[in-house]
Amino acid sequence: MPELPEVETTLRGIAPHINHRTIAEVALRETRLRRPVCADLPDILRGETLGEARRRAKYLLLPCATGFLLMHLGMSGSLRIILPADDKRLPEKHDHVDIVFTDGTILRYRDPRRFGLMEWYAGAEEFCPPLQKLGSEPLSADFHAAYLHDKLAARRCAIKIALMNAHIVVGVGNIYANEALFRAGIHPQRRAESLSKKECQKLVKSVQTVLQQAIEAGGSSLRDFVHSDGSPGYFQQQYAVYARTGEPCLQCATPIAHATIGQRSSFYCPHCQPHTESL
């Protein structure tokens, strides 16, 4: 599933081509996504001018004067920009929605598994149910050691589970949680409440570094993720622990271990991430 770096990479790829553009028409070829796409969406969006597209957690928001289109890429969704001069403008089997702008540019939504989301919300974002009660953005000034330490207090779950909890911090999925915990030297099964303020400071920095590096690398190319131009992401070439079970740790050569935490695969170095309580 696309995580924050993949969604941010997608946003940066599509925004220059759609911001402040006027929608000429919307082609709905398949409405059966995670939840059915509103059949009136073409009528709602026709003639609307988009504002500044942005990301909140793993959602993409396309704001208009009367509301906004909320999108989630699900397991296999992607957004492509089709320019007027492009040769391959005809849709293929899994190209479900086209948003066509007056200059001929097309924002095309592709989703082989159809687990994505595309919903119109009239009014302000703060009243949108999927966006309510979300935690801090990990790359924002709101995500800092004191905030994280306070959120982890009295949480007896594994720190990896807490780090992936969108009510605490958004957008840190399985891949990047594994990588951030390794860089912070924290065992993924440590009780969240056991982390000291110093450890929280180190973890915040590790989360932000991992996410920034992943964005710079264009995200990861697991399963079906590609950029808005169809090219893959390359952060998987920088994995220190993820999916490296049995391979030597890049820091100490200890074999990388695997565990299932919260029904998700977890990877860690037993030497660099000792299972101790707060120091």
Catalytic residue among 2, 63, 138, 188: 2
Q: Distance (Å, rounded) from C-alpha 152 to C-alpha 97?
A: 41
Catalytic residue among 54, 255, 264, 270: 264
Q: Is 2 a catalytic residue?
A: yes
- Among this protein's residues, is 114 annotated catalytic? no
| H-run or E-run covering 121 | strand 117-122
**Catalytic one of 3, 8, 48, 119:** 3
Give helix 197-216 / helix 174-184 axis angle, nearest 10°: 130
Catalytic residue among 55, 58, 160, 183: 58
CA-closest candidate to residue 41, choices 69, 63, 9: 69
- Joined tokens for residue 258: 């695997």
* CA dist., res. 125 & res. 52, Å (int): 14
Q: Is 247 a catalytic residue?
A: no
**Residue 153: strand, helix, or coil:** coil
Task: Provide the 10 A C-beta neighbour count for residue 243.
Answer: 14
Q: Is residue 3 annotated as a catalytic residue, yes or no? A: yes
Convert 248-264 into a string of H (helix), E (strand) and C (coil). Answer: ECCCCCCECEEEEECCE
* Active site positions, annotated: 2-3, 58, 264
